[in-house]
Amino acid sequence: MYQKTLSIIKPDAVKKKAIGNIINIFETNGFTISDIKMLKLSMEEAREFYKEHAARPFFNGLCEFMCSGPIVAMCLEGEGAILKNREVMGATNPSEAEAGTIRKMYGDSIDNNAVHGSDSTESAERELNFFFSN
Ligand code: ATP
Ligand code: MG
């Protein structure tokens, strides 16, 4: 199924100057980048974006991290884009991510894991609207 999904290059990967390499990985894997935006989230925006995790002990730290510097939000498109993006990203914890995945290459820890990707059609729609509503 042809799908759209949201990818975010997180502040840690931007600081590492990995934007170009990460975009190259997406394009090499066949995704079409159909929209892209660099921005810095406010704390309020980060809390709204990650609201599904509001009750988790790591929520405040996660939101502070996502506000700690600029991010790059992208719309990735292609066949099975949502699951394929999750595969290209690798496991949430970079130490468990497979070789060749973005998180293995650029993630340092579970809370500094380089990229975000939508995990379902519902979250992809909500998250794309969050960044690209007009
Ligand atoms: P993302 O939503 O960022 O793409 P994910 O879907 O792989 O990551 P989630 O379970 O949605 O993982 O968690 C969201 C983010 O919260 C993770 O990317 C990670 O940075 C952080 N996180 C998740 N679990 C933990 C944890 N146990 N300790 C610290 N941070 C965590
Ligand atoms: Mg998630």
CATH number at residue 27: 3.30.70.141
Residue 123 has pLDDT above 80, yes or no: yes
53 is a catalytic site residue: no
CA of 20 relative to ligand 2 center, distance in Å: 23
Give pLDDT, residue 66: 98
Work out which ligand 1 atom sits closest to the CA atom of 111.
Answer: 20
47 is in an annotated binding site: no
**pLDDT of 6 higher than 90:** yes
Supply the range of the domain harboring residue 89. 2-132
pLDDT, tens digit (0-9, with 9 covering 90-100), for 43-88: 999 999 999 999 999 999 999 999 999 999 999 999 999 999 999 9
> With 70 as the cut, is the pLDDT of residue 124 above it?
yes
121 annotated to a ligand binding site: no
pLDDT tens, position by position, 18-30: 999 999 999 999 9
Q: Considering the chain, what percentage of its residues have pLDDT values greater than 90?
A: 99
pTM score of the predicted model: 0.97
How high is the pLDDT of residue 113? 98
Q: DSSP letter at 98?
A: P
CA distance 38 to 8: 10
The answer to whether the beta carbons of residues 76 and 26 sit under 8 Å apart is: yes
With beta carbons less than 8 A apart as the criterion, state whether 41 and 66 touch. yes
Determine if ligand 1 sits within 6 Å of the CB of residue 32.
Answer: no
Structural domain tally of the chain?
1
| Residues comprising the chain, all counted | 134
- The C-alpha atoms of residue 49 and residue 44 are separated, in whole angstroms, by 9
E strands, the chain, where?
2-9, 32-39, 71-79, 115-117
pLDDT of the residue at 37: 98
Q: Whose CA is nearest to atom 7 of ligand 1?
A: 92
Which is the closest atom of ligand 1 to the Cα of 118? 4
pLDDT at 134 over 90: no
- Taking the C-alpha atoms of residue 17 and residue 13, their distance in angstroms, rounded to an integer, is 6
Closest ligand to C-alpha of residue 66 is: 1
